[in-house]
């Protein structure tokens, strides 16, 4: 057989746990807290079907044509207007680039900004999809611990002043994997720390519409308007399969991203953008976000109650929104061992290691968005059984 000579950069990507998770998710006998999908119960199938029919009836073949790289302008105007209205972020449509889900932003930002050996700062724990995406461009990844008070400002300050990182990648709202949200004082402190440095803030706001109390949190970009890029997505609140996200950045910065985007795929799915825009014109996005957040809040409360009742030795985060929480295992219990033992008990959790540059085997991530509400208590009962067999 031919020996394929792969690029060196592939060797820089940490081993992925996702293939194993996808296999687990197809087993109906397993109650899985390991994934990260939105619940099918909150996807507006009928509404999107009507929007698609309207698009074909009104636009016909034009809906199936090539389009501009920066995206459907009415959709970009909607996104910019929503930022102004919800969180007081003064952006225009010319500062919005449509992308194939906010995951593509991770690749574009790293592609445009990172040379091999450049320092990039991530949270610890951090989003595994970001760690994998950035690793392809061979940076020097360093991490800053986060907790309920936000990122460790001392560590971040030392890295920014000493290493001059290209950017700090942060998820201030309902972070994946921890579920933690930066308090207001931490947002101010991070902005003050970065202000005037040559380190960019990359703010990932995938979960900002999913706060249980319905109150928007101020984006850090509002305090660093010329030194930030901000990504968002319709995936968590409407339809992940449409792969529609966006990147917000100053216009001169966005010009470079537009070149990289065009080289990657010409433009994002034009049909999806038209269907999405039609849905937004004929439906209430605020109401949809409230519906999704209420559903996830009920699941989150059920999960926390089950953990506190059946696994009292597990300390865990208490999310204000989003789709995940993080639980710390009793001393001596390995998350990888618990993953394997859990499968034998018919329950799946996400081991902690992929979310850390080093360590992480003493925590697990639990997803509450895509678990049948009636199965949550039974799933945690199975997890408690697996823990007992591991000595706890």
Tell me the β-bridge partners of 141: 120
SS (HEC) of 151-200: ECHHHHHHHHHHHCCCEEEECCCCCCCCCCCCCHHHHHHHHHHHCCCCCE
**Euclidean distance between CA atoms 24 and 339, whole angstroms:** 11
Number of alpha carbons in the 13 Å side-chain half-sphere of residue 344: 11
Which tens digit of pLDDT belongs to each residue from 63-119?
999 999 999 999 999 999 999 999 999 999 999 999 999 999 999 999 999 999 999
Q: How big, in percent rounded to 5, are the helix, strand and coil portions of the chain?
A: 50, 15, 35
For 207-245, write each residue's pLDDT tens digit: 999 999 999 999 999 999 999 999 999 999 999 999 999
pLDDT at 346 over 90: yes
How far, in Å, CA of 372 to CA of 363, rounded?
23
> Is there a contact between 110 and 139 (Cβ–Cβ < 8 Å)?
yes
Residue 362: is its pLDDT beyond 90?
yes
pLDDT of residue 4: 82
Instruction: Collect all residues with Cβ–Cβ distance below 8 Å to 59 and sequence separation of at least 6.
Output: 274
| Averaged pLDDT of the chain | 95
Per-residue pLDDT of 169-213, as tens digits, reads 999 999 999 999 999 999 999 999 999 999 999 999 999 999 999
DSSP sequence for 342-386: HHHTTEE-EESGGG-SS--TTEEEEE-SSS-GGGHHHHHHHHHHH
| pLDDT at residue 2 in the model | 66
pLDDT tens by residue, 285-333: 999 999 999 999 999 999 999 999 999 989 999 999 999 999 999 988 9
Q: Which of 200, 283, 197, 188 is nearest to 247 (CA)?
A: 200
- What pLDDT shows up at residue 1? 54
Predicted TM-score (pTM) of this structure: 0.95
Architecture of domain 8-44+287-389: Alpha-Beta Complex (3.90)
- Placement of tokens 């895509």 in the chain: 370
87: Cα within 13 Å, side-chain hemisphere:
19
The stretch 363-391 carries a mean pLDDT of: 95
No. of helices (H) and no. of strands (E), the chain: 12, 14
Q: Which CATH class is domain 65-282?
A: alpha beta
Q: Residues 340-368: what's their mean pLDDT?
A: 96
pLDDT at site 212: 98
108 DSSP assignment: H
User: What are the boundaries of each domain within the chain?
Assistant: 8-44+287-389, 65-282
* Percentage above 90 pLDDT, the chain: 89
Q: Phi and psi dihedrals of 342, rounded to 5? A: -60, -40
């Amino acid at each position: 057989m031919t020996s394929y000579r792969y690029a060196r950069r592939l060797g820089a990507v940490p081993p992925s746990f996702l293939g194993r998770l996808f296999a687990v998710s197809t087993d109906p006998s397993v109650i899985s807290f390991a994934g990260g999908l939105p619940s099918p119960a909150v996807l507006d199938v009928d509404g999107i079907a009507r929007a698609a029919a309207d698009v074909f009836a009104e636009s016909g073949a034009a809906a199936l044509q090539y389009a501009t790289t920066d995206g459907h302008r009415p959709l970009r105007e909607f996104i910019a207007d929503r930022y102004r209205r919800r969180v007081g972020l003064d952006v225009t449509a010319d500062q919005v680039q449509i992308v194939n889900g906010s995951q593509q932003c991770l690749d574009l930002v790293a592609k445009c900004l990172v040379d091999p050996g450049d320092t990039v700062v991530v949270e610890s724990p951090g989003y595994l999809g970001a760690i994998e995406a950035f690793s392809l461009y061979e940076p020097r990844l360093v991490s800053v611990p986060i907790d309920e008070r936000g990122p460790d400002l001392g560590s971040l300050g030392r890295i920014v002043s000493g290493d001059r990182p290209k950017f700090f990648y942060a998820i201030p709202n309902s972070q994946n994997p921890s579920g933690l949200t930066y308090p207001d004082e931490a947002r101010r402190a991070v902005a003050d720390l970065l202000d005037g440095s040559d380190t960019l803030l990359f703010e990932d706001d995938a979960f900002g519409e999913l706060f249980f109390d319905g109150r928007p949190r101020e984006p850090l970009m509002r305090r660093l308007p010329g030194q930030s890029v901000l990504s968002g997505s319709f995936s968590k609140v409407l339809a992940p399969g449409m792969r529609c996200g966006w990147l917000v950045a100053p216009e001169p910065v966005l010009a470079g991203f537009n070149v990289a985007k065009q080289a990657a795929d010409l433009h994002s799915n034009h049909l999806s953008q038209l269907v999405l825009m039609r849905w937004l014109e004929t439906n209430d996005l605020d109401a949809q976000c409230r519906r999704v957040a209420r559903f996830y809040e009920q699941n989150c409360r059920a999960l926390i109650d089950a953990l506190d009742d059946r696994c009292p030795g597990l300390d865990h985060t208490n999310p204000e929104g989003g789709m995940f929480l993080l639980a710390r295992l009793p001393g001596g219990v390995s998350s990888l061992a618990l993953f394997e033992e859990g499968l034998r008990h018919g329950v799946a959790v996400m081991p902690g290691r992929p979310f850390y540059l080093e360590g992480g085997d003493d925590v697990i991530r639990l997803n509450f968005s895509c678990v049948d509400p009636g199965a949550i208590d039974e799933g945690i009962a199975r997890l408690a059984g697996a823990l007992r067999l591991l000595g706890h």
